[in-house]
Chains A and B, each alone.
Chain A
Amino acid sequence: MLNLKTFAAAFLLVPLALMAAPAHAALRVFACEPEWAALSQELGGDLVQVSSATTALQDPHQIQAKPSLIAAVRNADLVVCTGAELEIGWLPRLLQQSGNSKVQPGLPGNLAAADFVRKLEVPTVLDRSQGDVHAAGNPHIQTDPRNIAVVAPVLAARMQQLDAANATQYAQRQASFSQRWQHSMGRWAAQAAPLKGASVVSQHKAFAYLYDWLGLKEIAVLEPKPGIEPTPSHLQEVLATLKAQPARMVIYAAYQDPRASEWLSANSHLPAVRLPFTVGGSDAAKDLFGLFDDTVARLTAAAAPK
């Protein structure tokens, strides 16, 4: 039988042993979503050590405050998340349990990207009868590259603030990134120009910012209310809507169950387009540039006349 004295002694020895562990030199960044991990990596390069709490195949609304994430927040110098209540079900718990005073909300070590961009679909009525609505507006801001362009200098400024010794390098990397990003945005806009005004159906209200950027029109959503799984009766309604108001494609994100979109595609002969949604959501979406290269390529391919 385990002895209480041995147990108590272990309590004192374990912390002492771990205190001797070597300190990390790099700025440790905990990103809630892969897009912010990718942006941190672009801006920080070798100066940062980045981890992402979620992958592109996970629903960022539905993550659990699992032990590995608590440990990662405990050791972070900077927490970069979307905000706008996207992570409300798990991030507050991680921050509380981490015992890390540097990354609490309101401190330089905590950055919510959505605080810095103009938000779409801000609800006028807040009531859960409307589904899992976000009071601050639609949180999926990363689907518009213009938002990435806005967040990049803010994030770089935070890195400079937290790691002042390397401030010049962060500034240089940011300037380089922003220049390449502006150039790429011009290319994407040109490639996607034929899509302007096209009507589309989405599975979840995940692409408001993408549509705003490319001028797409969302005429129906497969989820009856945000966060509520598509139901057969609602899918029939969408099908009826499409008869009166045709669309070009049905769009879903890599992390979503494709069955609802596939059902609609089979019954309406619209192409179902699986968008990467974030970095890692497809083989081509290896980084932020690949994410939009692939997104635009998939959209234009689906819209091309056959």
Chain B
Amino acid sequence: MRNLFSAGLAVALATTPLAAAADTASDIQALRQEMEAIRANYEQRLQVLEQRLKAAEAAAQATAASVAAAPPAPVGPATGTGGGANAFNPEISLILSGLYTRTSRDPANYSLSGFHLPQAAEAGPGTRGFSLSESELGFSASIDPWLRGSAAISIAPDNTVSVEEAFVQTTGLGNGLTLKAGRFFSGIGYLNEQHAHTWDFVDAPLAYQAFLGNQFGDDGLQLRWLAPTDLFLELGAELGRGRPFPGGDDSRNGAGAAALYGHVGGDLGTSSSWRAGLSALNAKATDQTLVFSSAPGSAITNSFSGSTRVWVADFVYKWAPNGNATRTNFKLQGEYLRSRRAGALVADVEGAATAGGYLATQSGWYLQGVYQFMPRWRVGLRTERLDSGTTGFDANPALFDSAGYKPHKNTLMLDFNPSEFSRMRLQLARDYSRNGLPDNQLFLQYQMSLGAHGAHGF
């Protein structure tokens, strides 16, 4: 830079008319001295300028480093790098699950003594040997700023595909309100709303099998309201078709099923949290085919028309030291279900076909605890009991009398979770569903979650 400047100066001087100045040597000498002075002056000024520039550069670097090695990114997550049409694909998840089952009694003649079960019930331990449990494909995404959609497609081991859930849900109603429409698991009870792959045991409790056909998921509408309080208080109401048991999937203009429920919950210090609830489900059925067995080998097929009301009281309590569940944690949950079915029944439709009035009040409960005793390992115990209660059939009072038999079952579970996305489980159960014929059951199961990281409920 300095050289360039001197050169420029020389050129400028050279082009200046110098003829007059070249007269004497002294004049030349004077000029030289003058030039030297000018050069020295400019060099000094240049040095000052360079120093100032260096200082400014250093300051700029220092500011950049201290304020942020981080230029503010554009607002909004810039993770959808690919762009294009696929960037809007929904979150996709896939659940893979397989099972090995060993039972001491043939599951084909499973029955819940003293209880009416729907004909195609998924009750009991299922099939023996190796089998694929349900594979579930999940999709969910925002539809627009006000709605969100979600679907869970279930593929059964017999290659049948079913829509487990498919609903749209509001996100923009505000005031604690959420409206859902479509097919969804009802918010009644605690376990009902959870997908099978999040259960702590391989199978649903007996009370769910007897009174809710395993899990109650209907087609309809759901409105939930969350109170503006520090205590969690949620109220929900549902209207639906009454597609699954205890509903009859009838063609009618009105609703075939309706549910009301309330849940409260909160924390106890930093280590514990809880939720409790009370729910009521009403369902109608016309000519619903049911199978009844008072004792093994005595199944009769009946047809029921009438209404059903199921009450569910539920609670769950979770504990983890300081609320950090990574190392150890404990979960205690229990539910009590009470079902009342009233209407008309045609008993033994394939034989005598006796018609009469029918009124049955039955109940059941389960209590289970699951303890993670070290990272990755959990052990669980479930105990449950059903009460066949009173089953009044005025045409033949003795027909549905199971002499007060109370099916019960104890289940022990051990699972190993290599990561958040995989689980292997061993489950042992002694099942007294069949009057007088206890069944020893062993399950080995794996459950894997692929794709989008799902957010699980409490």
Contacts and interface: CB of A to CB of B under 8 A. Distances in A.
Contacts of B232: 67-68, 70-71
Contacts, number: 202
A287 interface: no
Contact of B76 (A15, A92, A106): A106
Nearest to B150: A96
Nearest to B313: A2
A131 B458 CA distance: 24
Interface stretch (B13-21, B109-117, B202-210, B222-230): B222-230
B171 A96 contact: yes
A213 B79 CA distance: 24
Interface stretch (A111-119, A195-203, A243-251, A292-300): A111-119
Among B72, B231, B267, the one with the most A-chain Cβ atoms within 10 Å of its Cβ is B72
Contacts of B376: 229
B151 to A, nearest CB: 15
B24 interface: no
A92 B452 CA distance: 12
Contacts of B77: 83-84, 112, 115, 136
Interface in B158-204: 169, 171-178
B260 A7 contact: yes
A4 B307 CA distance: 14
A67 B265 contact: yes
Interface string A90-129: 1111011111111010100000100111100000000010
B129 interface: no
B26 interface: no
A166 interface: no
A257 B455 contact: no
Given A4-B309, A100-B174, A116-B73, A132 B420 contact: yes
A179 interface: no
Interface stretch (B293-301, B323-331, B343-351): B323-331
B265 to A, nearest CB: 3
B262 interface: yes
Interface string A174-214: 00000000100110010000000000000000000000110
Given A11-B260, A57-B322, A65 B68 contact: no
A172 interface: no
B393 interface: no
A165 interface: no
A149 B67 contact: yes
A85 interface: yes
Interface string B64-90: 011111111101111100000000000
B260 A88 contact: no
A257 B324 CA distance: 10
A10 B262 contact: yes
A18 B323 contact: no
Given A55-B322, A88-B455, A117-B70, A71 B229 contact: yes
A70 B226 contact: yes
A292 to B, nearest CB: 14
A92 B141 CA distance: 11
Contact of B69 (A65, A115, A212, A229): A212
A67 B266 contact: yes
A234 to B, nearest CB: 14
Contact size range, B: 35 or more
Given A57-B322, A104-B171, A228-B419, A186 B327 contact: no
Contacts of A99: 173-178, 224-226
A155 to B, nearest CB: 13
Contact of A66 (B231, B235, B273): B273
Given A14-B227, A70-B232, A128-B421, A64 B456 contact: yes
Interface string B268-302: 00100111001010100000000000000000000
A118 B69 contact: yes
B176 A100 contact: yes
Nearest to B227: A18
Contact of A146 (B68, B327, B421, B458): B68
B186 to A, nearest CB: 15
A146 B69 CA distance: 7
B146 to A, nearest CB: 8
B267 A66 contact: yes
Given A7-B260, A21-B228, A99-B175, A68 B148 contact: no
A53 to B, nearest CB: 10
A115 B148 contact: no
Contacts of A101: 171-174
Contacts of A104: 145, 171-172
Among A58, A189, A212, the one with the most B-chain Cβ atoms within 10 Å of its Cβ is A58
B73 A55 contact: no
A74 B226 contact: yes
A189 B237 CA distance: 58
A285 to B, nearest CB: 16
Interface in A5-59: 7-8, 10-11, 14-15, 18, 21, 54-55, 57-59
Given A18-B233, A212-B69, 12 more contacts: A7-B278, A14-B233, A64-B458, A67-B232, A67-B273, A84-B77, A89-B454, A89-B456, A96-B148, A97-B457, A115-B75, A229-B376
14 contacts: A7-B260, A67-B265, A70-B226, A70-B234, A71-B231, A74-B226, A96-B148, A96-B178, A97-B226, A99-B177, A101-B174, A118-B70, A132-B420, A146-B67
Interface of A: 2, 4, 7-8, 10-11, 14-15, 18, 21, 54-55, 57-59, 62, 64-68, 70-72, 74-75, 83-85, 88-93, 95-102, 104, 106, 112, 115-118, 128, 131-132, 135-136, 146-147, 149-150, 154, 182, 185-186, 189, 212-213, 227-229, 255, 257
Interface of B: 65-73, 75-79, 145, 148, 169, 171-178, 224-235, 237, 260, 262-267, 270, 273-275, 278, 280, 282, 309, 311, 318, 322-327, 375-376, 419-421, 450, 453-458
